[in-house]
A and B are shown apart, each in its own frame.
Chain A
């Protein structure tokens, strides 16, 4: 056990020595990986910030049908019932707001009461507020039904109340998917960079490897420093990537906060939580080791 630990200590020391032996080259490799890693971290930070804000917005799909002002009393109630019977799978609830109820609601607001007082008659139409069931294809369903209802007799206008929220939600979903694809792309960058670094190191250390084999080194002994090199490169790159992402989020956060305050809300861009970052760092270190193992296996057969 002590010998095994000594061998690992030696491998770690050799890996550090190799990293420090060519500081500029090592730094360049680490910088390439960390810049690639910083991009998904920033995107994740933006998504993390946007997610709670979006989730607070009313995301239920509501469609309001405004009837023609000439429509007879009771038409709204009849049409509402008819719609519910025709689309039981899509419609969750129907609420009829008659023109008198709408006027009463407006009059209750002090800002409107004076304006409405000078009008000779009620300018508002009867309205039917339809709430649809939530499901993944809600955007398409809303679009299809609103087009269909526009053609109904007596309907003057159809308004999709939550369309923009749906679009925002879809955009976030798209971004989330994009983040995963970006993460996979970054994984490829990590694998390729570490593979190439280890390949060059293995070629540089050819003589040392040959001598180590001559004096009885096992293949594990030969490969171990390279695995540490891959893991160290991954860990250092992750740490630097977090620092770069933090630096990038500062001006971005100020800009986004300025925009949010114009909408009367507050947004604070911040890094993903520490555990997620630590986990990502470990994953990158493991990827670095795997890549190093693959590279050293291919490049030390001499």
Chain B
């Protein structure tokens, strides 16, 4: 469950990136966040992922007030939220599977268990057999799927993605969206920021529109 109550976000004394944002997403929902560039979509996802605190207001993630969490507790929140950023942020000094192993090292899994879970995660996103490739040898779509494998390997209850299909051809974009849909079907709350209207039409069950930091259209809320 994700809930925002009167959330504001600004940087320094600048204008509000988010202004009085209120919404609630139930467990297992598949939600698109749409809006023009600079509307505040990425900021919203960062707040949900616990990457940044709000300037004002209450943010509840899985029933916990993440805005009141001390800094040392936030990493544990991040483990419950799989984050996929537009720039995949993969490590190019190691193989694909070693990228997926990183979150498992963070949670202290044994090497054998980690390897088995990382292989399973790569298989789920359609990258079986590409474990030993360096990410730089992979296509843009494969790199995006590798980032998804890294985000889901610790079995998060929430998956958020920021423009995951940007810069991808239609076929690759649909493969990525199919992966998200599959995870959503097994109960993972999925939130995707995108301005690709055709994808939204095919996959979205609920769309939240954000413009100039305010929700102007929230069907289903």
Given A211-B89, A211-B102, A212-B102, also A218-B72 (CB < 8 A)? yes
CB contacts (< 8 Å) of B75 on chain A: these are: 213, 216-219, 221
Residue of B nearest to A9 (CB): B111
Contacts of B136 in A (CB 8 A): none
Dominant secondary structure of chain A at its interface with chain B: helix
- Given A213-B75, A214-B51, A214-B89: A3 and B108 within 8 A (CB)? yes
In the complex, are the beta carbons of A207 and B76 less than 8 A apart?
no
Residues of B near A214 (CB, < 8 A) are 49, 51, 78, 83, 85, 89
Contacts of B77 in A (CB 8 A): 216
Q: Which residues on the A side are within 8 Å of B150 (C-beta)?
A: 215
A198 to B17, CA, bound (A): 36
Would you call B110 and A6 a contact (CB within 8 A)? yes
Residue-wise interface mask of A (205-237) relative to B, using a CB-CB cutoff of 8 A (1 in contact, 0 not) = 001101111111111010000000000000000
With beta carbons under 8 angstroms apart, the residue of A10, A207, A218 that contacts B105 is: A10
Asked if B68 is an interface residue, CB under 8 A from chain A, the answer is no
* Chain B residues touching A, range: 20 to 34
A263 touches B (CB below 8 Å): no
B91 and A208 contacting across the interface, CB-CB below 8 Å:
yes
**Which of A2, A207, A219 is close to B89, meaning CB atoms less than 8 Å apart?**
A207
Q: How many residues of A contact B (CB 8 A)?
A: 20
Given A10, A213, A215, A219, which contacts B154 in the complex, CB threshold below 8 Å? A215
Given contact pairs A6-B109, A214-B78, a sample of 5 additional A-B residue pairs in the complex whose CB atoms are under 8 Å apart: A3-B108, A6-B110, A208-B91, A214-B89, A215-B79
Residues of B within 8 A of A (CB): 49, 51, 72, 75-79, 83, 85, 89, 91, 102-103, 105-111, 150-151, 154
